[in-house]
Protein backbone atom coordinates (compact mmCIF):
# COMPACT_ATOMS: atom_id res chain seq x y z
CA UNK A 1 0.00 0.00 0.00
CA UNK A 2 2.98 2.28 -0.03
CA UNK A 3 2.17 3.81 -3.38
CA UNK A 4 -1.49 4.40 -2.79
CA UNK A 5 -0.90 6.56 0.25
CA UNK A 6 1.25 9.10 -1.45
CA UNK A 7 0.36 9.65 -5.08
CA UNK A 8 2.28 12.60 -6.44
CA UNK A 9 0.91 13.94 -9.66
CA UNK A 10 2.46 15.84 -12.50
CA UNK A 11 0.04 17.90 -14.46
CA UNK A 12 0.76 18.14 -18.18
CA UNK A 13 -1.19 20.51 -20.33
CA UNK A 14 -1.06 19.51 -23.97
CA UNK A 15 -3.02 22.03 -25.94
CA UNK A 16 -5.80 22.29 -23.40
CA UNK A 17 -8.27 25.17 -23.38
CA UNK A 18 -7.42 25.61 -19.65
CA UNK A 19 -10.88 24.59 -18.56
CA UNK A 20 -9.69 21.22 -17.28
CA UNK A 21 -6.56 22.81 -15.82
CA UNK A 22 -8.64 25.07 -13.67
CA UNK A 23 -10.58 22.08 -12.43
CA UNK A 24 -7.38 20.14 -11.72
CA UNK A 25 -6.09 23.05 -9.67
CA UNK A 26 -9.47 23.27 -7.97
CA UNK A 27 -8.83 19.79 -6.60
CA UNK A 28 -6.04 21.20 -4.49
CA UNK A 29 -8.12 24.02 -3.01
CA UNK A 30 -9.52 23.81 0.52
CA UNK A 31 -12.94 22.82 -0.80
CA UNK A 32 -11.74 19.50 -2.27
CA UNK A 33 -8.29 19.23 -0.66
CA UNK A 34 -6.63 16.44 -2.59
CA UNK A 35 -3.77 16.47 -0.09
CA UNK A 36 -6.05 14.52 2.26
CA UNK A 37 -5.04 11.50 0.22
CA UNK A 38 -1.41 12.53 0.15
CA UNK A 39 -1.74 13.95 -3.32
CA UNK A 40 0.93 16.51 -4.11
CA UNK A 41 1.10 18.42 -7.34
CA UNK A 42 4.79 17.99 -8.00
CA UNK A 43 6.62 19.91 -10.67
CA UNK A 44 9.09 17.40 -11.93
CA UNK A 45 8.33 14.08 -13.66
CA UNK A 46 11.26 12.50 -11.83
CA UNK A 47 9.28 12.51 -8.60
CA UNK A 48 5.81 11.90 -9.98
CA UNK A 49 3.66 8.77 -9.94
CA UNK A 50 0.56 9.87 -11.76
CA UNK A 51 0.64 11.85 -14.95
CA UNK A 52 -2.46 13.96 -15.32
CA UNK A 53 -2.86 15.03 -18.93
CA UNK A 54 -5.34 17.62 -20.11
CA UNK A 55 -6.09 18.64 -23.69
CA UNK A 56 -5.86 16.98 -27.08
CA UNK A 57 -2.42 16.18 -28.39
CA UNK A 58 -1.22 18.18 -31.36
CA UNK A 59 1.84 17.82 -33.55
CA UNK A 60 3.83 20.43 -31.76
CA UNK A 61 3.64 18.92 -28.31
CA UNK A 62 3.55 15.21 -29.06
CA UNK A 63 7.26 14.92 -28.33
CA UNK A 64 6.85 16.91 -25.15
CA UNK A 65 4.30 14.42 -23.94
CA UNK A 66 6.50 11.46 -24.80
CA UNK A 67 9.55 13.00 -23.15
CA UNK A 68 7.74 13.68 -19.93
CA UNK A 69 6.22 10.22 -19.96
CA UNK A 70 9.64 8.66 -20.41
CA UNK A 71 11.05 10.70 -17.54
CA UNK A 72 8.60 9.38 -14.95
CA UNK A 73 10.15 6.49 -13.03
CA UNK A 74 8.16 3.27 -12.83
CA UNK A 75 5.62 2.36 -11.56
CA UNK A 76 3.54 5.10 -13.14
CA UNK A 77 0.02 5.64 -14.43
CA UNK A 78 -1.42 8.10 -16.91
CA UNK A 79 -4.71 9.77 -16.26
CA UNK A 80 -6.42 11.47 -19.19
CA UNK A 81 -8.58 14.26 -17.81
CA UNK A 82 -11.36 15.71 -19.92
CA UNK A 83 -12.97 14.92 -23.23
CA UNK A 84 -10.06 16.26 -25.29
CA UNK A 85 -7.45 14.17 -23.50
CA UNK A 86 -9.64 11.10 -23.72
CA UNK A 87 -10.66 11.24 -27.34
CA UNK A 88 -9.56 14.46 -28.91
CA UNK A 89 -12.87 16.07 -27.99
CA UNK A 90 -14.23 18.80 -30.19
CA UNK A 91 -10.75 19.30 -31.65
CA UNK A 92 -10.48 15.68 -32.84
CA UNK A 93 -10.51 16.50 -36.55
CA UNK A 94 -8.51 19.70 -36.50
CA UNK A 95 -5.64 19.81 -38.96
CA UNK A 96 -2.99 19.93 -36.26
CA UNK A 97 -4.45 17.46 -33.77
CA UNK A 98 -3.19 13.92 -33.37
CA UNK A 99 -6.10 12.90 -31.19
CA UNK A 100 -6.50 11.71 -27.61
CA UNK A 101 -3.57 11.08 -25.32
CA UNK A 102 -3.87 7.33 -25.89
CA UNK A 103 -2.75 7.84 -29.46
CA UNK A 104 0.70 8.70 -28.16
CA UNK A 105 1.26 7.07 -24.77
CA UNK A 106 -0.57 4.26 -22.94
CA UNK A 107 -3.38 5.66 -20.78
CA UNK A 108 -4.56 3.84 -17.67
CA UNK A 109 -7.66 5.79 -16.70
CA UNK A 110 -9.95 8.30 -18.33
CA UNK A 111 -11.95 11.06 -16.70
CA UNK A 112 -14.62 12.22 -19.14
CA UNK A 113 -16.31 15.57 -19.10
CA UNK A 114 -15.92 19.02 -20.54
CA UNK A 115 -14.77 20.03 -18.06
CA UNK A 116 -14.86 17.19 -15.53
CA UNK A 117 -15.86 18.24 -12.04
CA UNK A 118 -13.12 18.15 -9.40
CA UNK A 119 -14.90 15.27 -7.71
CA UNK A 120 -14.63 13.32 -10.94
CA UNK A 121 -10.92 14.09 -11.20
CA UNK A 122 -10.35 12.98 -7.61
CA UNK A 123 -12.31 9.85 -8.42
CA UNK A 124 -10.00 9.27 -11.35
CA UNK A 125 -6.92 9.72 -9.16
CA UNK A 126 -8.28 7.25 -6.63
CA UNK A 127 -9.02 4.80 -9.43
CA UNK A 128 -5.48 5.24 -10.70
CA UNK A 129 -4.10 4.31 -7.29
CA UNK A 130 -5.20 0.68 -7.48
CA UNK A 131 -3.73 0.45 -10.98
CA UNK A 132 -0.51 1.85 -9.55
CA UNK A 133 -0.48 -0.80 -6.84
CA UNK A 134 -1.15 -3.55 -9.38
CA UNK A 135 1.68 -2.32 -11.55
CA UNK A 136 4.02 -2.38 -8.61
CA UNK A 137 2.92 -5.90 -7.64
CA UNK A 138 3.13 -7.23 -11.18
CA UNK A 139 6.35 -5.29 -11.78
CA UNK A 140 4.81 -3.83 -14.92
CA UNK A 141 7.02 -1.20 -16.47
CA UNK A 142 5.85 1.53 -18.73
CA UNK A 143 7.45 1.10 -22.10
CA UNK A 144 9.88 3.75 -23.21
CA UNK A 145 8.00 5.60 -25.92
CA UNK A 146 10.20 6.22 -28.92
CA UNK A 147 10.29 9.63 -30.43
CA UNK A 148 9.83 9.59 -34.16
CA UNK A 149 12.16 12.50 -34.79
CA UNK A 150 10.48 15.33 -36.63
CA UNK A 151 6.89 15.13 -35.51
CA UNK A 152 6.51 18.75 -36.47
CA UNK A 153 5.00 19.43 -39.90
CA UNK A 154 7.70 20.65 -42.25
CA UNK A 155 6.10 24.06 -42.86
CA UNK A 156 6.23 24.99 -39.17
Task: Based on the shown chain and the rule CB under 8 A, indicate whether residue 24 belongs to the binding site for another protein.
Answer: no
Among 18, 22, 74, 106, binds another protein (CB under 8 A): 74
Which segments of the chain does DSSP mark as H helices, in order?
A: 19-26, 62-71, 83-87, 118-138
Q: How many residues bind another protein (CB under 8 A)?
A: 41
Closer CB to another protein, 6 or 114, in the complex: 6
Identified binder of another protein from the candidate list 5, 93, 95, 148, rule CB under 8 A: 5
* Region near another protein per CB under 8 A, out of 39-47, 78-86, 87-95, 120-128: 39-47
* Sequence-distant (≥ 6) Cβ neighbours of residue 79 within 8 angstroms: 9, 50, 51, 52, 53, 107, 108, 109, 110, 111, 124, 125, 128
CB 86 within 8 A of CB 112: yes
Residue 128: CB minimum distance to another protein, A: 14
How far, in Å, CA of 132 to CA of 26, rounded?
A: 23
Single out the residue of 60, 94, 117, 145 in contact with another protein (rule: CB under 8 A): 60
Q: What are phi and psi of 71, to 5 degrees?
A: -85, -5
Contact 34/114 with Cβ under 8 angstroms? no
Which positions touch another protein (CB under 8 A)? 2-3, 5-6, 8, 12, 28, 30, 33, 35-38, 40-49, 60-61, 63-68, 70-71, 73-75, 136, 147, 149, 152, 156
Amino acid sequence: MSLAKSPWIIHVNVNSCNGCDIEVVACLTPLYDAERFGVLNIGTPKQADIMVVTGSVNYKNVNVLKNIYNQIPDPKVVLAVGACASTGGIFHDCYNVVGGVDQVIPVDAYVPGCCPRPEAILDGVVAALSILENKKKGNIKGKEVKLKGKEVPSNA
